[in-house]
A and B are shown apart, each in its own frame.
Chain A
């Protein structure tokens, strides 16, 4: 088979930029070519083999081992296959990924899943700030696919998010879904301050504690039972606090009225 295990030899002195190290790119290469792949180290391009031991695998997966917390852009623009990071990773994990399955066994730093387009990114630990958001300066954040965070999320989660589904099993920091354009975020734990600040459309589901709702949201008079069944049944497959959503009632708050008011905060009773 065409998978590889890349084991970090030692913590790199500077940040490592792992753009281009994706399952489909490496699947077409032999081990000798993989070792020579250039990766960014500080401002220099250095062969991958300087930092990683490369070993072929019996399956198609690409597995990264070691303390990857100085490795940024893991799974950047990946377009298929399976990539597993067996440790905590740096910034931009799964950024702009299009397809495939990226699993991070540890935590991810800032900007995980930023401008993600498709596929699934699963993070067993926490994510830093600006997960599922935009690249700095860009207008649209996450725009497709599924992001699952088993731990806690930092601030500005889902900033300018446009489409796709993001779930947080732990707590979220301040400004959850700020300036959200559309899409779905479901939260099992507690949310910080300023939930949905400036959100235009989109749905935030609070399966755990009810958030502090800003004055720029209005309570919904009408229910949305049909929509809730469609959404909750889809979220239920992720299990945990989301598994029983379809059997629970909801209260909705519509807003942010300061930005059109077509978004909704769904508070599960």
Chain B
């Protein structure tokens, strides 16, 4: 398949089930909500070593938050509910509780409840109080700027992690432009995050390594520096730079929509802007239950 000079590989992205939640962080103004959200979603690019994958889903106007202040919606994904609960507690405890003027609420109501303010309340050293409002329990913890308000729990739902696009381009400028366009298009959609820096990852990996201790290693078939050296390469002298966009979403439909939007944004740039090929990462289809076929995604859009 070729669109606007861009070759679309007949392949698919392979994704995995994850556990996910959404939390809403509000603050005195958007800037401070953003500070808390950026900190809470820091060092959360990959479950391989971060414990979770997290990102800012979108910014919320004051009219959409429980307390009428501006806020930020954050999505957090982990491989198990237990790990997710641990990550929520650490990140909210260290990055939201600490951030001036913030409050934190569940962004998903339906699902298994995990602690949000439930354990953080003990920071109040006995001065904390709880309040049931409209069927939900909130904790009020005295802090130096007044009080930190946190909903007791948030809900955990099933999510989908690891949707991806590989963007093969003429050079660094073209690859960055395509990746930035794809991420910008995906960011307009709900229920997804792109957890890597700026939404983009340059160190795509393959399964396994020559070193027994490592489960994953550099994706040599897509490394331009290894053309002619590695046993197999996907690149040519025309494609000298590859970027990957990884997408986590609350459902497979959300991930598919983000991949489609990302591809369409890249294709619009086209070969003229240096994007030559779009591919996707998979493990042969045996590991992950979710398969996103690039041709099907684009066909469904046509």
A222 touches B147 (CB 8 A): yes
Question: How many angstroms between the C-alpha atoms of A151 and B213 in the bound complex?
Answer: 74
- CB contacts (< 8 Å) of A164 on chain B: these are 132
Q: Smallest CB–CB gap between A194 and chain B, Å?
A: 22
Selecting from A5-13, A36-44, A133-141, A229-237, the interface stretch reads A229-237
Known: A229-B68, A230-B66, A246-B68. A224 touches B146 (CB 8 A): yes
Contacting pair B131 A223 (CB below 8 A): no
> For residue B140, which residues in chain A have a CB less than 8 angstroms away from its CB?
224, 227
Q: List B contacts of A227 (CB < 8 A).
A: 131, 138, 140, 147, 149
Q: A227-B138, A229-B68 are in contact. Are A163 and B132 (CB under 8 A)?
A: yes
* Chain B positions within 8 Å of A201 at CB level: 129
User: Is A215 close to B, CB under 8 A?
Assistant: no
Contact of A226 (CB < 8 Å), options: B103, B129, B132: B103
* A262 within 8 A of partner (CB): yes
Tell me if B138 and A230 are in contact (CB < 8 A). Answer: yes
Question: CA separation between A195 and B140, bound complex, in Å?
Answer: 23
Q: Which residue of B lies closest to A261 (CB)?
A: B127
**A262 pairs with B127, CB closer than 8 A:** yes
Kindly identify, within residues 177 to 229 of chain A, every residue whose CB is under 8 Å from any CB belonging to chain B.
Answer: 182, 184, 201, 203, 222-227, 229
Distance A229 CA – B131 CA, assembled complex (angstroms): 13
- Once A224-B146, A224-B147, A226-B149 are accepted as A-B contacts, the answer to whether A184 and B131 lie under 8 Å apart by CB is yes
Does B67 have its Cβ within 8 Å of any Cβ on chain A? Answer: yes
Q: B22 in the interface, Cβ–Cβ < 8 Å?
A: no
Number of interface residues of A (CB under 8 A): 19
Q: Does B133 lie within 8 Å of A230, measured CB to CB? A: yes
- At the interface, yes or no: B134 with Cβ under 8 Å from chain A? yes
User: In terms of DSSP, what is the predominant structure of the interface of chain B?
Assistant: strand
Q: How large is the interface on B (under 10, 10 to 19, 20 to 34, 35 or more residues)?
A: 10 to 19
> Once the chains are docked, how many angstroms separate the CA of A174 from the CA of B103?
36
Taking CB atoms and an 8 Å cut-off, the chain A residues in 229-269 that contact chain B are: 229-231, 233-234, 246, 262
- Does any Cβ of A come within 8 Å of B69's Cβ? yes
Determine if A231 and B133 form an interchain contact, defined as CB atoms under 8 angstroms apart.
yes
Residues of chain B in range 63-102 having any CB-CB distance to chain A below 8 Å: 66-69
* Residues of the B chain whose Cβ atoms lie less than 8 Å from the Cβ of A233: 66, 68
B interface footprint on A153-184 (CB within 8 Å = 1, 0 otherwise): 00000000001100000000000000000101
Known contacts A224-B146, A226-B147, A230-B138, A262 near B129 by CB under 8 Å: yes
Question: Which residue of B127, B129, B131, B147 contacts A231 across the interface (Cβ within 8 Å)?
Answer: B131
- On chain B, the residues within 8 Å of A230 by CB distance are 66-67, 131, 133, 138, 149
Give the distance to chain B from A227, nearest Cβ to Cβ, in Å.
6
Closest A residue by C-beta to B147: A224
Q: Are A229 and B67 in contact (CB under 8 A)?
A: yes
Closest to B132 in A: A163
Residues of A within 8 A of B103 (CB): 226
Q: Is the CB of A226 within 8 A of B69?
A: yes
Complexed CA–CA distance, A196 and B83 (Å)? 44
Closest CB of chain B to A144's CB: distance in Å? 8
Contacts of B67 in A (CB 8 A): 226, 229-230
Determine how close the nearest CB of chain A comes to the CB of B96; give it in whole angstroms: 13
> A222 contacts B66, CB within 8 Å?
no
CB proximity of A222 to chain B, nearest CB, Å: 5
**Min CB–CB distance A106 → chain B (angstroms):** 29
Nearest CB of chain B from residue A136's CB, rounded to whole Å: 26
The smallest beta-carbon distance between B69 and chain A, in angstroms, is: 7
Bound Cα distance A160, B68 (Å): 32
CA distance A215 to B202 in the complex (A): 66
In whole angstroms, how far apart are the Cα atoms of A165 and B67 in the complex? 19
Give the docked Cα–Cα distance between A48 and B207 (Å): 77
Q: Which residues of B contact A (CB under 8 A)?
A: 26, 66-69, 103, 127, 129-134, 138, 140, 146-147, 149
Given A226-B147, A230-B133; 8 other pairs, CB 8 A cutoff: A163-B132, A182-B130, A184-B131, A224-B147, A226-B26, A226-B69, A226-B149, A231-B131
Q: Which residues of A contact B (CB under 8 A)?
A: 163-164, 182, 184, 201, 203, 222-227, 229-231, 233-234, 246, 262
9 A-B pairs with least C-beta separation: A229-B67, A226-B149, A222-B146, A234-B134, A226-B103, A234-B133, A226-B67, A229-B68, A230-B133
Q: Can you spell out 11 A-B residue pairs with CB atoms less than 8 angstroms apart?
A: A163-B132, A182-B130, A184-B131, A184-B133, A222-B146, A226-B147, A227-B138, A227-B140, A229-B68, A230-B66, A230-B131
